[in-house]
Amino acid sequence: MRHTLTIDYPTERFEQNRRRLEARGAFRIADRVPVGFCVVPRYFAPLLGMPYSELFRDAETQYYWLLQFAKYRMERVPEDVWCSPVVTIAPYFDNVTNASAFGAEIGWGSDETPRAIPTLKTPEAAESLAMPDAMSGLWGKAHEWRATFEELARETKVTIGGQEGRVDIAPAGIGGEGPHMVAVDLAGEELYYWQAERPETCHKLLDTITRGMMAAEERFRELDPRPRGGYGLAEDAAQVMSAAMFREFCVPYDAALFDRFGAGLPDGRGMHMCGDSKHLLASLRDDLRISSFNLFGYRVDPALVARELGGRAYLWGNLDPMLMKDGDPDQVKAAALHCLEALAPVGGLLLGDGANVCPGTPPENLAAVTEASVEYGAG
């Protein structure tokens, strides 16, 4: 075997986790609310002494490190997301995959996450943006690396809690950044001026991005026709907009993608949005008809989310990541209990961060979140 992975994880927890997540899917609670965190490679890299740039050196290097991150997560992060002896990974390029395919320059720092550098400097450049090929930029690299991952997975011996396991490569997709988020990556803050002064330019740009994303996603699904469990988008940059601007410049394009790729799926209209999105909740509910609000920003009052989305959408969030990093366990537990009191009664909750677990967050603070869920469940 080319790789060997041994993970110390109590296998009896698989069934417990499965029951909790199935209950969540039915807007019920089993013994307690399940816990899940957004812990991504930038959290694990310093813990394992890895320069972040190493993750992008080549496909096999990334494959190796993603397995090490999964091992650390299963053994040391107390959450309820694992339901079988399977480690699922996929090629990972943070949040710049789609922007890269549309021509954004990508800045690769030695010890920081890659970032998109805007390339559309004028409205005329935005209007002339062409649809990319389905294998452009990081779309193509992700496809190439996926083939390598699949080959390596066949040559990996996995043991989890003494059971034989395996590595699965997640179904292919282009990435979850929504059209408006990609447009901001390509044009920077100028996009917001254009929305006021050149709205037709913005619509033309967003239409090009949406059609390009559709064509690429269709191609990926032709190459990998396995069923998907859900479909989601991220529109982090939209929370600075008014509700009216959101309806004009986000809703039509996100809805087109949801209608194309989320139809028929239990969670086919998932939305992630960092920041203060409370003024957009009605639009998310009524215009986009979201099926889940994933890792929504900690600045949104959980009680408001319960009123606006409770019983209509699955909820995941929304503890303050900086409190989780810098607070003490008692403070984190108190915040988690406050979130549970507001959101647990409406069902469909996955208790977690809002959004992203910061590098340097102490494990005992993550454990405090699960302790809160146990305490609330017992009550």
**Beta-carbon count within 10 A of 379 CB:** 8
For residue range 333-350, what is the model confidence (pLDDT) as tens digits? 999 999 999 999 999 999
Ramachandran quadrant class, 128 (left: phi over 0; alpha: psi -120 to 50; beta: rest): alpha
CATH architecture of 3-378: Alpha-Beta Barrel (3.20)
Span 303-307, mean pLDDT?
98
Residue 128 has pLDDT above 90, yes or no: yes
Distance CA 30, CA 344 (A): 11
Beta bridge partners of 105: 117
pTM: 0.96
pLDDT value of position 223:
95
Say which amino acid occupies 143. H
Q: Encoding tokens for residue 95?
A: 């949040």
Task: State how far the Cα of 187 lies from the Cα of 189, in Å rounded to an integer.
Answer: 7
Strand order in the sheet with 163-169: 3-7, 156-160, 163-169, 86-89
Radius of gyration of the chain (CA): 21
Report pLDDT for 75. Answer: 98
Q: What 3-state class would DSSP assign to 38?
A: coil
Separation between Cα atoms, residue 32 and residue 17, nearest integer Å: 10
**DSSP assigned state of 352:** E
- What average pLDDT does this structure show over 241-263? 98
Q: How far is CA 293 from CA 8, 67, 341, in A?
A: 32, 28, 18
CA distance 246 to 243: 5
Provide the pLDDT confidence category of residue 281 given band limits of 50, 70 and 90. very high
Distance CA 235, CA 182 (A): 9
pLDDT score of 379: 80
Give the pLDDT confidence of 40-91 residue by residue, as tens digits. 999 999 999 999 999 999 999 999 999 999 999 999 999 999 999 999 999 9
Split at pLDDT 50, 70, 90, the class of 109 is: confident
Cα separation values, 23 from 9, 16, 30, 200, Å:
23, 11, 6, 46
Checking if the pLDDT of 112 tops 90, the result is no
Q: How far from chain centre, in Å, is Cα 81?
A: 14
Q: How far is CA 141 from CA 42, 134, 339, 354, in A?
A: 20, 11, 40, 30
Q: Cβ distance 361 to 46 under 8 Å?
A: no
